[in-house]
Amino acid sequence: MDLELLWFCLIAILWAGYFLLEGFDFGVGMLLPVVGRSDEERSTMLQAIGPVWDGNEVWLIVAGGATFAAFPAWYATMFSGFYIALLLALVFLIIRVVSFEWRSKSESPRWRTVWTWANTVGSIGAPLIWGVGLSALLFGTPIDSNGDYAGDFWDLFSPYTVFAGVTVVVLFAFHGATYLTLRTVGDLENRSRHAARRLALPAVLLGMVYIVWTVATAMDRNDKDLFPPALPAIIGIVALALSALFLFQGRTGRAFSMTAVGAVALVATLFTSLYPRVMVSSTGFENSLTVDGAASSHYALQVMSVVALVFVPLVLLYQGWTYHVFRKRVGGAHDVSGVDQTGGKPPLAPELPT
pLDDT (tens, 9 = 90+) of the chain, 354 residues, equals 699 999 999 999 999 999 999 999 999 999 999 999 999 999 999 999 999 999 999 999 999 999 999 999 999 999 999 999 999 999 999 999 999 999 989 999 999 999 999 999 999 999 999 999 999 999 999 999 999 999 999 999 999 999 999 999 999 999 999 999 999 999 999 999 999 999 999 999 999 999 999 999 999 999 999 999 999 999 999 999 999 999 999 999 999 999 999 999 999 999 999 999 999 999 999 999 999 999 999 999 999 999 999 999 998 999 999 999 998 999 754 443 333 333 333 333 334 444
**Burial (Cβ within 10 Å: 0-12, 13-18, ≥19) of residue 315:** middle
Three-state SS for 16-56 is HHHHHHHHHHHHHHHHHHHHCCCHHHHHHHHHHHCCCHHHH
Apex 99 CA angle, 14 and 258, nearest 5:
40
Residue type, 135: S
Q: How confident is the model at residue 340, as a pLDDT?
A: 36
SS (H, E, C) 63-104: HHHHHHHHCHHHHHHHHHHCHHHHHHHHHHHHHHHHHHHHHH
Distance between terminal CA atoms of the chain?
Answer: 36
Helices 298-325/58-70 angle, 10° precision: 170
325, containing H or E segment: helix 298-325
- Decide: 266 and 239 in contact? Cβ < 8 Å: no
289 SS3 class = strand
Alpha carbons 71 and 66: distance in angstroms, whole number: 8
